[in-house]
């Protein structure tokens, strides 16, 4: 193993979707590992000290996602009655309309949907607990089409499953591929193409439509309003309007 091999690995991952923050974390982990490996005599000395982490810039973590008109085009371009298209359409609707996190998508169960009352329940990733949402008709239609025509007849109760056996719960990497390929098919140019980009697009769209920070935070499942206020930095032209928003008694 050479230091150049580590550098090539980080460069390769950066060119294939890793953010600087992700590469920074992996570089730190690799540096610790190689320092330990050097002490054990597993590799040449100097590799650990030679690994440099990508620089993290202030405000680099600001949300970034496609414009809402592009999201609408994305939802229209996913067509077809094959299993992959039906699953992708249901997933993308949930990501775009409700701004769900990847983990919240993968944890959805068939029993979380109350079709009679037209609601569904989400187990939140970060703040914990459950939250009930009204089921928007187009989203419900997309999910029903997936369940009835594409979802494998399998004992697992998770809503979204893999397309091929052995059937299992869909993972975060599959969600990233669904979102990335959909955005590519729709001709959407966006530096970040994963599921979280649609969460950002959802929040920004609500902000532009005049929703309060509290309303956006409630939809996204934020525990603290300060987690929501970061979206105010995305579109500077909205800051004057944000100042007039009702923050639900938080100030």
CATH code for position 124 = 1.10.443.10
- Tell me which residue range forms the domain holding 106: 69-191
- The question of whether 101 is a catalytic residue gets the answer yes
Residue 243: both structure tokens together: 């100042």
Active site residue 126: yes
Tell whether 34 and 130 lie within a shared domain.
no
What the block records as the tokens of 204 is: 């920004």
Of the three residues 153, 169, 191, the one that is the final residue of a domain is 191
Query: Do 98 and 167 lie in a common domain?
Result: yes
Q: Is the pLDDT of residue 250 over 60?
A: no
Are the CB atoms for 247 and 212 separated by under 8 Å? Answer: yes
**CA distances to 74, 117, 192, 200 from 67, in Å:** 11, 32, 12, 10
Residue 57, both tokens: 């810039």
Determine the pLDDT at residue 251: 40
Within this chain, do residues 88 and 27 fall inside the same structural domain, yes or no?
no
Is 177 labeled as catalytic in the residue annotation?
Answer: no
Residues 76 and 164 occupy one common structural domain = yes
Angle between helices 195-208 and 213-220 (to 10 degrees): 150
Count of beta carbons in the 10 Å neighbourhood of residue 95: 29
Residues 141 and 46 in one domain: no
Q: Are residues 91 and 15 in the same domain?
A: no
Residue 45 and residue 119 share a domain: no
In the set 21, 126, 168, 233, the catalytic residue is 126
Q: What is the tally of structural domains in the chain? A: 2
pLDDT of residue 214: 77
Classify residue 200: in a domain, yes or no: no
Rounded Cα distance between 20 and 85, Å, is 32
Banded pLDDT at 56 (limits 50, 70, 90): low
Mark whether 240 is an active-site residue: no
Are residues 167 and 82 part of one domain? Answer: yes
Rounded to 10 deg, the angle between the 172-185 and 83-98 helix axes is 90
Per the annotation, the verdict on 222 as an active-site residue is: yes
* Residues 91 and 32 reside in one and the same domain: no
Weakest-pLDDT range from 85-89, 145-149, 212-216 = 212-216
Strand partners, 131: 122
Q: State yes or no: is 57 an active-site residue.
A: no
Residue 132 inside a domain? The answer is yes
CA atoms lying within 13 Å on the CB side of residue 14:
16
Peptide bond just before 166 cis, omega within 30 deg: yes
Q: CB-based contacts of 169: which residues, under 8 Å, 6+ apart?
A: 106, 156, 158, 160, 161, 162
Banded pLDDT at 239 (limits 50, 70, 90)? very low
Share of the chain above pLDDT 90, in %: 53
Please report, rounded to a whole number, the percentage of residues in the chain having pLDDT higher than 70.
84
Give mean pLDDT, residues 58-63.
52
At 200-235, the pLDDT tens digits run 888 888 877 887 777 777 777 765 555 555 555 544
Burial (0-12, 13-18, 19+ Cβ within 10 Å), 103:
middle
């Amino acid at each position: 193993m050479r230091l150049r091999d580590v550098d090539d690995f980080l460069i390769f991952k950066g060119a294939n979707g890793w953010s600087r923050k992700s590469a920074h974390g992996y570089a730190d982990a690799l540096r610790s590992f190689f320092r330990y490996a050097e002490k054990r005599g597993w590799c040449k000395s100097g590799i650990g000290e030679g690994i440099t982490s990508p620089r993290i810039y202030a405000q680099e973590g600001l949300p970034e996602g496609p414009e809402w008109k592009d999201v609408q085009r994305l939802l229209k371009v996913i067509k077809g009655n094959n299993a992959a298209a039906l699953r992708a359409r249901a997933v993308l609707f949930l990501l775009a309309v409700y701004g769900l996190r990847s983990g919240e998508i993968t944890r959805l169960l068939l029993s979380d949907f109350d079709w009679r009352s037209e609601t569904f329940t989400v187990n939140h990733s970060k703040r914990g607990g459950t939250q009930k949402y009204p089921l928007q008709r187009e989203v419900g239609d997309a999910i029903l089409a997936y369940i009835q025509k594409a979802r494998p007849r399998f004992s697992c109760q998770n809503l979204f499953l893999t397309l091929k056996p052995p059937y299992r719960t869909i993972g975060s990497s599959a969600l990233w591929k669904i979102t990335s390929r959909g955005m590519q098919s729709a001709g959407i140019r966006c530096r970040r193409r994963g599921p979280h980009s649609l969460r950002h697009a959802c929040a920004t769209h609500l902000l532009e439509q005049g929703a309060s920070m509290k309303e956006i935070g409630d939809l996204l499942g934020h525990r603290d309003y300060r987690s929501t206020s970061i979206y105010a930095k995305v579109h500077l032209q909205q800051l004057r309007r944000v100042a007039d928003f009702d923050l639900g008694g938080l100030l």
